[in-house]
Amino acid sequence: MKALGNFDIGDCFADVRCRFGHKTRLFNIDRGHYVACDECRNYIFVGSNLMSGWRQENRDIWQSNYDSVKGYKFIR
């Protein structure tokens, strides 16, 4: 299993877990998918356009998702 910061990356972006057992949260900003850990206050990019859900979202949702990780560390 690959690791990125505190995240364990599984075979699929849906398998991303925090190594500390925290609950993670998957969200979109435009067509990009991200996973955040609110306990560790960081997030990673997991891919783009892998799920079609972003098409049902809008700029307001993406803005609030972006705001939800403001001040978090982006791990790349």
Give min distance, CB of 73 to Zn ion, in A. 11
Q: How far is the CB of 43 from Zn ion (least distance, A)?
A: 10
Q: What residues between 6 and 35 interact with Zn ion by CB under 5 A?
A: 18, 20, 22
Instruction: Say which residues have a Cβ less than 8 Å from residue 45's Cβ, sequence separation at least 6.
Output: 32, 33, 34, 74, 76
Contact status: 44 vs Zn ion (CB under 5 A)? no
40 binds Zn ion (CB under 5 A): yes
Distance from chain centroid for Cα 14: 10
Q: Which of 1, 62, 9, 61 has its CA nearest to residue 35?
A: 9
Binding residues for Zn ion (CB under 5 A): 18, 20, 22, 37, 39-40
